Amino acid sequence: MPSFLGNQRNNMSRLTHVLDFDNSNHSCVYLMTKSFRIYNNYTLNEAINFAETKGLSLSIYIIQPHEENPKNIEYFKNMISDLSENLGKFSDEVSFKLREEVSESLFDSVQAIFIDKMYLRFDLDFYEKIKAISYKNKINLFTVEANVFVPVMIASNKEEYSAKTIRNKINSKLSSYRDECLTGHKLTKAEKESFEVLTDFLQNKLSFYHLHNDPSLNYTSLLSPYLKFGFISPVSIYNRSIHLKSENLDDFLEELIVRRELAYNFVYYNPTYDDFNYLTYDWAYRTMNHHLKDNRKYIYTKEDYVNFRTHDPYFNAAMKEMIYLGRMHSYMRMYWCKKIIEWSRTYEEAYTIAIELNNHYFLDGLTPNGYAGVAWCFGKHDRAWTERDIFGKLRYMNANGLERKFDIAEYVRKINLLGKEE
């Protein structure tokens, strides 16, 4: 793809020149906020090209991501333990910073700041702070969409209704964004582990991916935390899998690219993506209003959930998976959130509980996928189904379905073993 050179406002680029100043200072800064990798780090690549072309020094600041759960911070720090050292070959100065440590004084004599493009509110707050510093000090500011396959605004210029409406828009552009960069360096610990998890998936699980919905089996890739922290790019995953002759490849790429980037489309074009009153469709609000007063046989609180105190062994097992492992099987995530809807006094209360648990306990939480996944349970990106109590026209899921489709007792058995290991 075109890079910075001579190409300041190329519409097809991952790069956006947000603030453009005539500034002849001698250094350039990369604020690494979402792509904690070197391999296929498009932002780092742009910053290096810019610094080299202009003869500037390059400083890299690794910025700790926003997390609510100390376990996630611990995981992140452990995974990036050798990142500074590996970045040393690109930069005279590499250091780790908390968001609150980033202030104007860091940007003395800086000509340009490069930052990974961010999409969620807590990230945008940090970005706005950087933008204000850049503006005040007349520093050029560049953002790079390094963690999606197709830059969000290029994939589509509006909020999309569903996977169906965005699929071709994304898939038709993949060949333009397949290029790799910064490929010839020693892999960091996080990069190595990401590629190992990917290789294990491609060699041992992809051929069973048609069974990936079954919670008693483990045929999903487990790549979501690596994607979240940008330890691996979706482009790297695509390039390593596209030549494989597997009937399941399209299904996997549908999740990795179409569903994931539909989530980015959602949070980018819908500034109220996390406001219960404005995140889903009119038909969904109408049906929820209609069923608001329906009798709820069970009402549980967040405390009941985190202490595994519901009457439903499948739900309790899913909560254990969430709390013990920081993840949940993808099918159980749907069931889990649907049950919270069924067992809450109001839909809004259900939304708040689901988002809070999602963002706190999942290692892959606090991502566009999390917001889109929970919103999906309230009808977003979905369609109206047959009318039911409490759910109205929202898609309904129940324990009988789990029992009919899967060996769900096996899922519970496996998860309960985990509990005993704790």
Ligand X SMILES: Cc1cc2nc3c(=O)[nH]c(=O)nc-3n(C[C@H](O)[C@H](O)[C@H](O)COP(=O)(O)OP(=O)(O)OC[C@H]3O[C@@H](n4cnc5c(N)ncnc54)[C@H](O)[C@@H]3O)c2cc1C
Chain positions contacting ligand X, by CB under 6 A = 212, 220-224, 227-228, 255-256, 259-260, 263, 330, 333-334, 337, 358, 362, 364-365, 367, 369-370, 372-374, 376-377
To ligand X, the closest distance from the beta carbon of 321 in angstroms equals: 11
Nearest distance from residue 375's CB to ligand X, in Å?
9
> For ligand X, which is the closer residue by CB, 46 or 116?
116
For 245, the token pair is 């002759």
Distance of closest approach, residue 222 Cβ to ligand X, in angstroms: 4
Nearer to ligand X, 107 or 195 (CB): 195
What DSSP string describes 55-101?
T-EEEEEEEPPP-S-HHHHHHHHHHTTTHHHHHGGG-SEEEEE-GGG
DSSP for 363-416, written as a single string? TT-SSHHHHHHHHHHTTTTS-----BTTTBTS----HHHHHHHS-HHHHHHHHH
> In this complex, which beta carbon is closest to ligand X, that of residue 62 or of residue 120?
120
Provide the minimum distance between the beta carbon of 232 and ligand X in the complex, in angstroms, as a whole number.
10
Nearest CB to ligand X, comparing residues 106 and 334: 334
Strands 27-32 and 15-19: unpaired
112: enclosing H helix or E strand = strand 110-116
Q: Report the nearest approach of ligand X to the CB of residue 153 (Å).
A: 19
Tell me how far, at minimum, the Cβ of 210 lies from ligand X, in Å. Answer: 12
Task: Please tell me the distance from the alpha carbon of residue 191 to that of residue 90, in angstroms, as a whole number.
Answer: 17
Please say whether the beta carbons of 385 and 396 come within 8 A: yes
Question: Which C-beta is closer to ligand X: that of 134 or that of 233?
Answer: 233
CB of 29 to ligand X, least distance (A): 29
Question: Least distance (Å) from ligand X to the CB of residue 354?
Answer: 6
Which one, 38 or 263, has the nearer CB to ligand X? Answer: 263
- How far apart CA 169 and CA 156 sit, in angstroms, is 7
Return the bridge partners of 116, or none: 144
> Under a CB-based contact definition with an 8 Å cutoff, are residues 279 and 385 in contact?
no
At 343, phi and psi to the nearest 5? -105, 15
Q: Which CA distances in Å does 168 have to 147, 244, 254, 285?
A: 20, 21, 11, 29
Cβ–Cβ contacts within 10 Å for residue 310, how many? 17
What are 144's strand-pairing partners? 15, 116
Q: Which is nearer to ligand X, 28 or 377 (CB)?
A: 377
Cα–Cα dist 386/405, whole Å? 20
Between 181 and 223, name the residue whose CB sits nearer to ligand X: 223
Alpha-carbon gap, residue 367 to 374, rounded angstroms: 11
Min dist CB 49 to ligand X, Å, is 28
Give CA–CA dist 212/136, Å, rounded.
51
| CB nearer to ligand X: pick between 82 and 251 | 251
- What are 42's two structure tokens? 């498009």
151/230 with CB nearer ligand X: 230
Residue 364: how many CA atoms within 13 Å on its side-chain side?
23
Nearer to ligand X, 37 or 260 (CB): 260
Pick the closest to residue 332 from 239, 190, 215, 195 (CA basis): 215
Nearest-approach distance from CB 5 to ligand X, in angstroms: 32
Residue nearest to ligand X (CB): 373
Least separation in angstroms between CB 177 and ligand X: 17
Give the span between the Cα atoms of 213 and 88, in whole angstroms: 43
